[in-house]
Amino acid sequence: MNLTIPIELERFRIEVREFVRAALPTDIACRQREGWPPTETDLRRWFGILAAQGWSQPDWPKEHGGTGWDPLQSYIFEDECAAADAPHLSWRAGSSLVGPVIYTFGSNAQKARYLPKILTGEELWCQGFSEPNSGSDLASLRTSAVRDGDEFVVNGQKIWTSEAHIANLIFALVRTDRDAKPQRGISCLAIEIESPGVTVRPISTIDNGRHVNEVFFNDVRVPAGNLIGELNKGWTYAKFLLGNERHSNALVQRTKREIRKLRDLAGQTSFGERFIDKPAFRRSLAQLEIDTNALEWAVIRAACTHGALGGRDMAFASGLKVVGSELQQRVADLQLEVLGPWVSPEFLEPEEGAWHGTFRPAEVPVDVPGTMTKALFRRAATIYGGANEIQRGIIWRSAFGGN
């Protein structure tokens, strides 16, 4: 592998860095630096800034309103956003997951209807895949869509649906043929959250945040024109989407930023000692840096060769997801170790803005306020997007031809 970065990419990095650091609102960067998850307001503001620059979709082709950047440029863009403490946007279902499905498999009418509003952030999407009895075994899903004239009538339930409480539409996997084999009777529907019969119910999580929800469908009528792609081909589209999701779940740029913050924090004197002076800690930190560097090059390779590995693409994406999510947990564990007594449950649920230089005691390190919240949320990293145990099975089957 040639690890030399061409001079034109270095110029591109400088251009992105200068724009991001000048355009990113200080209060948003401060909240990110303190470890808090971005608020909906933060995300909409930053997304609007990027949209005005024409950079809201760095992974999309130009013909669909994206930047048309190559994979290395897209990687550099996210790297600079992470380094500047900008909110992470690529997990947004409409941008990184649903949008590519629509412009790859959707009709011209669907592209015209949905893509412009994803580009501007006017419409937000969520992803309706998992069900109470269909998580890792997704093909066993039971939410049904029965054709009735020019509509589908949808009944069933989705669970662990991220951001359904703020979304306008849900990209739902539904069963349209109960007599077909499990994977062959599934279709994809775009369902408006405000449709009669749709109910969104929050699920409490250990970090005390509002991330995931239950979504119920009770005789929900969906226009037949909202069928994405072909009838009963939804499993193919779901695999396409999940492959993109597992690439993005590696979050290596964000992990690099967290490790740099961890190294700086370990160099500070806290309670009479510096963690960086402890040999065991230095070994753990060095191993984290080595593993993250290896993951970074694997992510870049995957981005540049996507589609060239044939049937191994999905397994490679699974590998990135496994390593990336476990690295996120290891970093969070070391952060808690270094911050020690400063990490307290009292930091779990502040009023928005309360820690932005107003109420945070001067002696508390800037990284402390959201550290516990972030560490608790990271416990889910090895579950969402496909549990790591399942991903290891995918890797094994690809390598050894298992069933």
Q: Are residues 257 and 377 in the same domain?
A: yes
Domain count of the fold of the chain: 3
Q: Are residues 150 and 17 in the same domain?
A: no
Task: Retrieve residue 58's tokens.
Answer: 């760095």
CATH classification of the domain holding 209: 2.40.110.10
Q: Are residues 211 and 322 in the same domain?
A: no
Return per-residue pLDDT of the chain as tens, 403 residues. Answer: 566 778 899 999 999 999 999 999 999 998 888 888 888 889 889 999 999 999 999 989 999 999 999 988 999 999 999 999 999 875 566 777 899 999 999 999 999 999 999 998 889 999 999 999 888 788 899 999 999 999 999 999 999 999 999 999 999 999 999 999 888 999 999 999 999 999 999 998 888 778 899 999 999 999 999 999 999 999 999 988 877 765 676 889 999 999 999 998 898 877 678 899 999 999 999 999 999 999 999 988 887 776 554 456 778 888 999 999 999 999 999 998 888 777 765 544 444 444 444 344 445 566 667 788 888 889 999 988 888 998 899 899 888 875 5
The residue type of 121 is G
CATH classification of the domain holding 362: 1.20.140.10
- Which residues, other chains included, contact 139 with Cβ-Cβ below 8 Å and sequence gap of 6+? 182, 183, 186, 235
Residue 126: beta bridge partners?
170
Q: Is residue 239 part of a domain?
A: no
Q: Is residue 392 part of a domain?
A: yes
Q: Is residue 105 part of a domain?
A: no
Q: Is residue 242 part of a domain?
A: no
Q: Is residue 33 part of a domain?
A: yes
Separation of alpha carbons 160 and 280, rounded Å: 38
Q: Are residues 269 and 363 in the same domain?
A: yes
Residue 190: beta bridge partners?
171
Q: Are residues 321 and 396 in the same domain?
A: yes
Expressed as residue numbers, the domain containing 86 is 7-91
Rounded to 5 degrees, what are φ and ψ at 189? -125, 140
**Angle of CA points 30, 94, 53, to nearest 5°:** 55
DSSP letters for 92-140 = -IIIIIIHHHHHHHS-HHHHHHHHHHHHHTSS-EEEE--BTTBSSSGGG
Q: Is residue 221 part of a domain?
A: yes
Separation of alpha carbons 302 and 40, rounded Å: 31
Separation of alpha carbons 95 and 119, rounded Å: 8
Q: Are residues 263 and 369 in the same domain?
A: yes
Separation of alpha carbons 403 and 396, rounded Å: 9
Q: Are residues 213 and 253 in the same domain?
A: no
Q: Are residues 269 and 364 in the same domain?
A: yes
Separation of alpha carbons 13 and 32, rounded Å: 21
What radius of gyration, in Å, describes the C-alpha atoms of the chain? 22
Q: Is residue 171 part of a domain?
A: yes
